[in-house]
């Protein structure tokens, strides 16, 4: 049984964050449940829902679904901005509940094929784009973004981590 929203953390109305926090609960849990039910992830990952959402006021930072080792600049566990992309759509719209690889370098054909095989959405950020500025700010060339918008991994070996 999982508790989400106000049932898990009643928030005073004047903070104006209760609905957002509840939606993030749902975003965090929904893709994990779907993956476990599909047999793509072990049931044990469901414990990461509470681990990650309990300190929801802070950046998500302490579960096995966030790999901090390869992050020299602290991008792991942070939310990727739901940025406007070059075609006028938002990241959430394009990713549509799938993993996304956001990069400011155009990947090789081999990497593109790997992403395609794994059904990972490729988003190449161009100079001037919000995502390009975001990656530069964190000195990252690419980031693997989970279906709930959380950065799972970034850094040089991010592509190798996609399996």
Q: Is 26 in the site for ligand FAD (CB under 6 A)?
A: no
Query: Two tokens at 109?
Result: 């054909």
- Residues in a beta bridge with 79: 150
* Smallest separation, CB 63 to ligand FAD (Å): 22
Rounded to an integer, what is the distance from CA 13 to the centroid of its chain? Answer: 27
Six token digits for residue 117: 């095989």
Using CB under 6 A as the criterion, what x/- string covers residues 62-91 for binding ligand FAD? ------------------------------
Give whichever of 24 and 153 is closer to ligand FAD, judged by the CB atom: 24
Instruction: Report the residue number, 52 or 129, with the smaller CB distance to ligand FAD.
Output: 52
The whole-angstrom separation of Cα 147 and Cα 31 is: 6
User: What is the closest distance, in whole angstroms, from the C-beta atom of residue 9 to ligand FAD in the complex?
Assistant: 9
Assigned token pair, 8: 């898990």
49 lies in the site for ligand FAD, by CB under 6 A: no
CB 45 within 8 A of CB 32: yes
**List of residues contacting ligand FAD (CB under 6 A):** 5-7, 11, 13, 16-20, 22
């Amino acid at each position: 049984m999982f508790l989400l929203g106000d049932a898990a953390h009643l928030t005073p109305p004047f903070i104006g964050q209760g609905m957002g926090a509840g939606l993030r609960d749902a975003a965090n849990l929904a893709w994990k449940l779907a993956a476990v039910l599909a047999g793509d992830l072990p049931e044990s990952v469901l414990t990461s829902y509470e681990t990650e959402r309990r300190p929801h006021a802070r950046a998500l930072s302490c579960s096995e679904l966030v790999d901090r080792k390869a992050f020299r600049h602290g991008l792991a566990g942070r939310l990727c901005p739901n940025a406007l992309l070059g075609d006028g759509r938002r990241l959430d719209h394009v990713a549509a509940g799938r993993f996304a690889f956001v990069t400011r370098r155009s990947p090789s054909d081999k990497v593109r094929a790997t992403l395609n095989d794994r059904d990972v959405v490729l988003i190449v950020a161009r100079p001037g784009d919000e995502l390009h500025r975001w990656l530069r700010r964190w000195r990252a060339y690419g980031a693997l973004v989970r279906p709930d918008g959380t950065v799972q991994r970034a850094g040089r070996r991010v592509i190798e981590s996609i399996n």
